[in-house]
Chain A
């Protein structure tokens, strides 16, 4: 297998985009990535696009061909990836595989989504489609509902009173909103920089115990990357970022996880696969973007990846262990909660944010100092249905 490097990144502002289609948003992100790397359209050998709900958001299926035409790329293989919220992380992992295998030297990969045109009721319905259509959706399970179930179970299994857990969850919200407030690409840029625990706890109840401020918002946006064979990376950039390890895992209906809903094996095995491939351990990771679709999801993810012991991640967040200067600076971009969550674009966005950190280009206040050598991405689709991990480093 060959070394693979990220040689260009592009990222639209996340938020509401009324005058851009998902195809146009993708083209903006892709053109930024291509301009940054000095890549011409005809050089791109394949296009991989993460898109989860375009069929419902805009009535656009098979978006990859429309993206190709919009960008004037050649008659190259174009593929759409669907893994719910992990769609574009899986796209990046597959792009890595194709370049590592030697099949392609240069692949354009990313994701795009418009969620806001659907409105809350339809968006809630379509997000639920990643759950089991026969055994879960008819019960009325929603996506926040998944993590509300997990939060109560977590409280019981670890003997942590729900009131205490909710305070820890509120700290996750406060921290990620603070980072998002400093990130010009974030949906909540300039907002919610100084939330208080009380404000999170008393915001509108979505599905108890999750309030609105425990949840990520609905978002439109796109992100894109250029992946290149390591040996050719310097042709395009002086600051290549290498993919050191990748992992992927799968789940199924929530009920089959049983008690492991609080430490999902699909995430444990995916993360381990990435660590093993990179020959690294959690202690080696210096900056982390993880899938904080809900505050409790961040706590569960930190434990399942091995950053903190079971039942202890919430305490670690309260102690500042996930901030700059702590054990593992987490979601310095704002994460899904502060930056926004355009489903199919989220994974590619997380990779862009890690690349930004490793290049020392993150916004003031969010940049880890000294500039980190190694970063990690964790993305989750559905109720632990698709897990994907990527470890990135400044040295191959």
Chain B
């Protein structure tokens, strides 16, 4: 059974990073899609990821879209299970290139909505390992 974005968002609110495991090739897909991201199989089951991973890249957004307040940090994390996930990064102080490669873990979620978002949307928030 596939998961939907609503399942992913509800799990984030409970502190869990939820994806799909392919019953044919074993690949994890997170966030969920209708088919396995590697082999295209529709035979999927829900799988919880650890929420830990590596910071692959990030940026500090200083010119935000209408309805958001900057600055804030957007990042791409490679989870230890494989899939790359986009989220926010809780960063303290100056965020420089030396942060790339640092271990991160899921630390919470960010909820947001505007007139175009079709209701509340939920996004994962990550924190650098070793920081409180």
Contacts and interface: CB of A to CB of B under 8 A. Distances in A.
- Residue with the greatest number of chain B CB neighbours at <10 A, chosen from A152, A153, A155, A206: A152
A276 interface: no
Interface string B43-75: 000000000000011111111111110101011
Contacts of A137: 117, 121
Nearest to A121: B66
A254 to B, nearest CB: 7
A129 B118 CA distance: 13
Given A156-B100, A162-B97, A255-B76, A206 B65 contact: no
Assign chain B's interface to a size class: 35 or more
Contacts of B83: 255
A139 interface: yes
A122 B114 CA distance: 12
Contact of A139 (B5, B70, B86, B101): B86
Interface residues of A, number: 38
B110 interface: yes
Contact of B62 (A122, A156, A206): A206
A207 B63 contact: yes
A254 B112 CA distance: 20
Given A133-B117, A137-B117, A256-B84, A206 B97 contact: no
A156 B57 contact: yes
A208 B110 contact: no
Most chain-B Cβ atoms within 10 A of its Cβ — which of A121, A138, A155, A209?
A: A138
B63 A253 contact: no
Interface of A: 120-122, 124-125, 128-129, 133-142, 144-145, 148-150, 152-153, 155-156, 162, 205-210, 253-256, 258
17 contacts: A121-B67, A125-B65, A133-B117, A134-B5, A134-B31, A135-B5, A138-B117, A141-B86, A148-B59, A153-B57, A156-B97, A206-B62, A208-B62, A253-B86, A255-B31, A256-B84, A258-B78
A-B CB proximity, top 6 nearest:
A148-B59, A138-B121, A125-B65, A121-B66, A255-B84, A153-B57
Interface of B: 5, 9, 31, 37, 56-68, 70, 72, 74-76, 78, 83-88, 97, 100-101, 110, 112, 114, 116-118, 121-123
